[in-house]
Structures are given as C-alpha cells and as structure tokens.
C-alpha cells in the first residue's frame, strides 16, 4: 500500500532453568538465549523498520540488564551482515532472557532516544527494569497533562511510551512491592487503548501482557526449556516451535516468569474483544495465524468476495483482461479473485525491495512510486487491468500507480478493486492515520451513508481509474471469520471500542472543520484534556 504503517512489534525469549535442554536453545548454551531476539525481530520487521533494540538479563555481569538499541533496520542495528561485530554484540549482551522491539513511529521523531526498549536504572533490582510496548494509548493527552500538572514532573519525549514508563515507576515507588498482576491491574485502570507489553527486570522477572481488548495480536510458545513470545505467530513457527505449542495470549492476561517458573494469569476483565481487522487484511505477515484465524485464508476470502461482487463483464474481453496485485500484501486477494473469475493473476507491478526509506525521503510521490514499483509493459500493454489493493487511505500512492500503469505500462483500462470498505475515520490504537481530512473516502462519503455506484464512479474519476469497487462493510467479519462484536473496525464505521477513542473522534471531526485551529496536526496534538478517565 505504501501509505500506511503500524506502530511496532515486540518479542521475548527466556531459557527456563531446571527444565532440561531444548533443541531450540542456541548452540552457545542457555546463557546465550538472548541471541535469538534478532532472529525473532527479523520475522516481525514488517511491523516497524525505523528502529530496533533489545534488553537482556544476565545475573553474572555487573549490568544485570543491559540494552542495545538504535535507529535502523534489524539488520543494521544488530549488524547481521557483519559476522565479527554481530558476535561481539551477542557476547556483550548475552543473557538467559531478553526482550526486543521493532519500531515505526506514529509519534515522536526518528531519534535513538525514542527507540525501544526503554530501560530505567535503579539501585533496587526490583525497580531496575526495561520494557517495550506495541500499540497506542488513546488517552495519551490526558495522561500527559496529569503528569505535567505536577510541578516537579517532566517528560522529555512526545511519546506514550514515556507515559507508560512513568506509570510503571509510580507502581514501584517507595515501599510498594506489587505483584506483577497487581501492577498490571492498576495500569489497566488508567490506560485506554492498545498495549502489548514485554517487561524484564534485574531480578530476572519477565512479564508479557496483552491489553483487555486484545486490539493488537500477541503469541507465545513453550517447548522444553524455551519460552518465546512475539507479535506474530510466524516468528515462533520459523524458530522451530511446534504449531501445537504456539498459542494466542488471551486479552487481559499475562505470562509471568518469576524464579524461573512460568504461569499464565489474568490481570483485568475482558468483557469484549476488539481485535484490529487490519492485522488480517494488511499488517500481519501472510504466514501468521492470529487469534486462531489464518492471515492468508482471510485474504483469500477477501479476494473471493471481490470476485463475487464483480460487475465488469469479463466475457466481453476475457482474453485481454488480467488481475494485477499491488505488491505484496494484496497478492493473496488478487490471486483468489482471479481464480474465481477464471482470468490470470499476473505480476504487472514489480516492487523494488531494496530502496531504503532514507534514499527516497524528500522525493515527490510520483518519484517514490517510480523508484518503488516498476510496471511491466510486456504484461500490461493493451490489457484491461483489475488492479487489486488492500485499501485506499490517502490515495496518493494509488493515483501515482494508476498513472504509471497507463504511461509506462500502456494499460488500456485500469479498474481498481479494493479488498476493504472505505476508510472513513482515523485510528487511535496504533496506525498512523489520526485525522479525518487526510482520508480519501471522507471527501465522498460519510459514516453510515450507503456506498452507491455513483459515489464509486466519482471516486474512480478522482483517482484517474476507469472504475472503482470497494468491499461492503459486512464482508470484513465473515472474511476474517470473527464475530462482528469481537473485532475493531472503527476506521470503517466509527464504533470505537474505548471512551478515549470515541472522544478523540469527536475532536477529529472538529479539527477537520477547522474549529480547533490545529488542522494540520495530529488529533492527539490538538487534543485538550479528555473528559473521561478511561477504563478498558
């Protein structure tokens, strides 16, 4: 899609003592379990390529927990292409337990101080901890104001990760000795939004927790002496964990490891679930299974739905009609759509996977598209193209792609098919779209209004396409094989699952109408203190 990014991904590893050996343990021994973190992070690199890092625990070194992090890809941060520097890093940060993080920023600059994990030093081992966080706190403006209203308090960064660190510190302050469940329960009473947390302290205690709504995915596995967790199942699968051992962490639950013993505990009630539907249709690796639903099979169903609702008369020009996916995440939907229609799915667009973010920074959108995608004239010349995309958010990439298919590919017609309903509202739970006025569909359609052929025709004209078709709203729950009440699709229907999300949406509407005076800023930045202290 080229326009939309996720917040981040988390991972954790622990070699459990007194559990014997495991074929999954590094050949260097249990004390080097931490060297598995870069491998886990590589598998979830799709969730963030701005920065990466890890914290390891080793009771035999002075720095009981120690953190390595930097701006860059996992390969760059851990020097995976340079054997000697990589081995030196792994030796320095060797440990029997570790947590890791990959970052894409929805807030905060491209700066090392924003990279995670965040480590907090303390002379007391129980208060010396590090953590990483996946998601976004919707009540961030209120939490930030509550902190800054205290004269002696200061925040150095514009990020909810620092807010989370502050609240963990408060839970551990003074003579408090909360259990992990007590600490998480108190945090859950304060936080509104999406938050998966991996936590490690200087006692060797580890916590892997998922918010009570389960907005973002989180998987874990135990096999012999090895425990691992990651944002997606594919990371655990490719490490060698048996499929039967890979489980989804239930919302409102945490894996807690203390004194080398592992347990699963609930820290907050979970009266409903609100799994983000975008995980299945775009964000997650196609090889992952999230909350018992295959990502690939979900995308295959999306394509079948597109085919079922196709109105173009294929038989009129079957020999010259082809389906072309926008690489890479639309391929499964495009292939299944083409199969159902009985026409070929061809790679008419080739993506350059070696163009880095820095190299294309500062170029205009057309230049970026030319660098990132190459239309194959040999495939496209004179063809009627059904161009399949995951979704259209801001439309800038789609406009440029359609233009390139015509100019460079010499396509006769370009018909856009979107494996998602129109995006009509911002996300406040970890996706970088927080304003109403930046969304393409809101210029043509309001939430609750029917999507008519006339509206789709106007959208197609605006994009420069011959036609445009979206999936209907009711298709999403069936395609991801979930009950409508167990998924979050607020960006489609404005039914936000938390109070702070609902309030931010109202502010976003005011901002779009230019009432707040902060039309160009993120909704969070324009937000006054929210009226509600959220309970998620």
Q: Which residues are catalytic?
A: 8
Exposure b/e, 148-184, CB count within 10 A at least 16 = b: eeeeeeeeebebbbbbbbbbbeebbeeeeeeebbebb
Alpha helical stretches, state H, 350-481: 357-360, 365-372, 377-380, 396-407, 453-463, 475-479
Exposure b/e, 106-142, CB count within 10 A at least 16 = b: bbbeeeeebbbbbbbeeeeeebbbbbbbbbbbbbbbb
Q: Report the distance separating Cα 361 and Cα 293, nearest Å.
A: 36
Q: Report the distance separating Cα 14 and Cα 25, nearest Å.
A: 10
Surface-to-core class of residue 250, CB atoms within 10 Å of its CB (0-12 exposed, 13-18 middle, 19+ buried): middle
Give the DSSP per-residue string, 209-233. EE-TT--S--EEEEETTEEEEESSH
Q: What is the largest CA-CA distance in the chain?
A: 78
Put residue 20 in one of left, alpha, beta given phi > 0 → left and psi -120 to 50 → alpha: left
Q: Which residues are bridge partners to 207 per DSSP?
A: 199, 256
Verify cis geometry, omega within 30 degrees of 0, for the bond prior to 117: yes
Q: Which residues are bridge partners to 23 per DSSP?
A: none
Q: Report the distance separating Cα 303 and Cα 298, nearest Å.
A: 9
Contact 486, 276 (CB under 8 A): no
Rounding to the nearest 10 degrees, give the CA dihedral for residues 58, 63, 65, 70: -120
């Amino acid at each position: 899609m080229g326009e939309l990014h996720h917040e981040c991904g988390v991972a954790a590893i622990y070699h459990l003592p007194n559990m014997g050996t495991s074929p999954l343990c590094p050949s260097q021994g249990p004390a080097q379990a931490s060297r598995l973190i870069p491998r886990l992070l590589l598998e979830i690199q799709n969730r963030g390529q701005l920065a990466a890092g890890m914290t390891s625990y080793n009771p035999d070194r002075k720095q009981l927990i120690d953190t390595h992090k930097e701006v860059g890809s996992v390969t760059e941060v851990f020097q995976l292409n340079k054997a000697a520097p990589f081995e030196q890093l792994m030796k320095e940060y060797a440990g029997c337990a570790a947590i890791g993080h990959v970052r894409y920023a929805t807030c905060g600059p491209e700066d090392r101080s924003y990279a995670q994990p965040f480590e907090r030093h303390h002379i007391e081992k129980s208060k010396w901890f590090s953590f990483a966080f996946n998601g976004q706190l919707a009540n961030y403006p209120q939490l930030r104001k509550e902190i800054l209203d205290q004269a002696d308090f200061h925040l150095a960064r514009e990020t909810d990760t620092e807010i989370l660190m502050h609240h963990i510190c408060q839970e551990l302050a003074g003579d408090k000795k909360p259990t992990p469940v007590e600490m998480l329960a108190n945090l859950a009473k304060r936080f509104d939004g999406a938050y998966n947390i991996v936590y490690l302290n200087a006692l060797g205690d580890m916590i892997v927790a998922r918010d009570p709504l389960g907005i973002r995915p989180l998987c874990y596995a135990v096999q012999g002496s090895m425990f691992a967790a990651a944002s997606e199942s594919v990371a655990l699968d490719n490490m060698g964990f048996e499929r039967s051992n890979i489980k989804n962490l239930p919302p409102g639950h945490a894996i807690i490891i203390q004194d080398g013993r592992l347990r699963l505990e609930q820290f907050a009630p979970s009266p409903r679930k609100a799994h983000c539907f975008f995980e299945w249709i775009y964000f997650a690796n196609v090889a992952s299974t999230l909350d018992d639903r295959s990502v690939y099979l979900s995308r295959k169903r999306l394509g079948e739905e597109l085919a079922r609702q196709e109105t173009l008369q294929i038989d009129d020009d079957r020999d010259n009609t082809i389906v072309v996916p926008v690489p890479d995440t639309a391929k499964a939907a495009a292939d299944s759509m083409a199969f159902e229609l009985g026409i070929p799915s061809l790679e008419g667009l080739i993506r350059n996977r070696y163009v880095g973010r820095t190299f294309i920074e500062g170029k205009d959108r057309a230049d970026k598209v030319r660098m990132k995608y190459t239309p194959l004239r040999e495939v496209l010349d004179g063809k009627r193209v059904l161009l399949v995309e995951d979704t259209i958010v801001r439309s800038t990439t789609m406009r440029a792609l359609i233009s390139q298919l015509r100019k460079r590919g010499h396509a006769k017609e370009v018909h856009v098919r979107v494996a998602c309903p129109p995006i009509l509202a911002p996300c406040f739970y970890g996706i970088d779209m927080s304003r109403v006025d930046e969304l393409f569909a809101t210029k043509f359609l309001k939430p609750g209004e029917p999507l008519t052929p006339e509206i789709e025709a106007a959208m197609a004209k605006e994009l420069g396409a011959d036609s445009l078709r979206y999936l209907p709203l009711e298709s999403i729950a069936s395609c991801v094989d979930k009950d409508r009440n167990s998924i979050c699709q607020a960006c489609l229907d404005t039914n936000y699952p938390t109070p702070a999300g609902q309030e931010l949406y109202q502010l976003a509407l005011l901002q779009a109408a230019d009432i707040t005076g902060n039309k160009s800023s993120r909704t969070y930045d324009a937000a006054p203190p929210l009226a509600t202290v959220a309970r998620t």
